[in-house]
Amino acid sequence: MLIKAKVPAKNSMLFLVYTFIVVFTFLSVFGAIYFAQSISQQSNLRSYNSNYAYGLEKENDKDDHEYEASNTKYGGLKPNYYKGFNPKFSRDEVELLENIVTAESQGEPLKGKIAVVNVILNRVDNDHYPDSVEEVIFQQGQFNPTWDGSLERVNNITPKTKEAVGRAIEGQQSVPSNTLFFMNQEIAEDFTIANTRQYVKTIGNHTFFR
């Protein structure tokens, strides 16, 4: 009886070992396949994001180039032509404009950056708004970067931003002089402007209103 009792126990142990080996092998193979697919998907995603960013950059560059060619008054000017001198604006005002444009329109095409400056300067010239660049920018509840911290975090002004500010303060306009508002409707939470103001145009991610 003792011998007969040991045989099934041995067979049971072998069965458990065999089952463990099969399951372990299956999980190892499955895990390896899943890991390889995950790496491939991540690689494809990185490639897609890289290509998308490159494509967006190229699209903006193309847009800027076409804008240069179509603007007969300023088309011949070269990048970085602005040397920081305009008697109508102080150096502090120019730097403030460069900072707010960076915070508001990073990644936007040249004419979109110019349009942001246009809106600010249009307000300076409008009787319903303050009379200075600083007061317009820091008017309560008007420009998000002045209260969400992004204006203070600006630490790098690109040549394109300097170009945009320089052109705008010299009189170049991407939007009409009565354009007083802009918003990114993809991320906006308040659509009062879009619902109450007249549409002017869309440049890049920004929609402009008067």
| Residues 38-91: tens digit of each pLDDT | 555 555 545 444 444 445 455 555 555 555 554 544 443 444 334 445 668 999
Q: Long-range contacts of range 154-159, CB-CB < 8 Å, 24 or more positions apart?
A: 154/99, 154/102, 154/103, 156/102, 157/98, 157/99, 157/102, 158/102, 159/79, 159/80
Q: What is the pLDDT of residue 17?
A: 73
Which parts of the chain register pLDDT below 70? 1-11, 29-32, 34-87
Q: What is the pLDDT of residue 81?
A: 39
Could you tell me the CA-to-CA distances from 111 to 67, 70, 75, 156 in Å, in that order?
Answer: 7, 12, 12, 20
Q: What is the pLDDT of residue 20?
A: 74
Q: What is the pLDDT of residue 23?
A: 73
Q: Are 209 and 197 in contact (CB under 8 A)?
A: yes
Q: What is the pLDDT of residue 197?
A: 96
Which CATH number is correct for 71-209, 1.10.10.10, 1.10.10.2520, 3.30.365.10, 1.10.8.350? 1.10.10.2520
Q: What is the pLDDT of residue 60?
A: 57
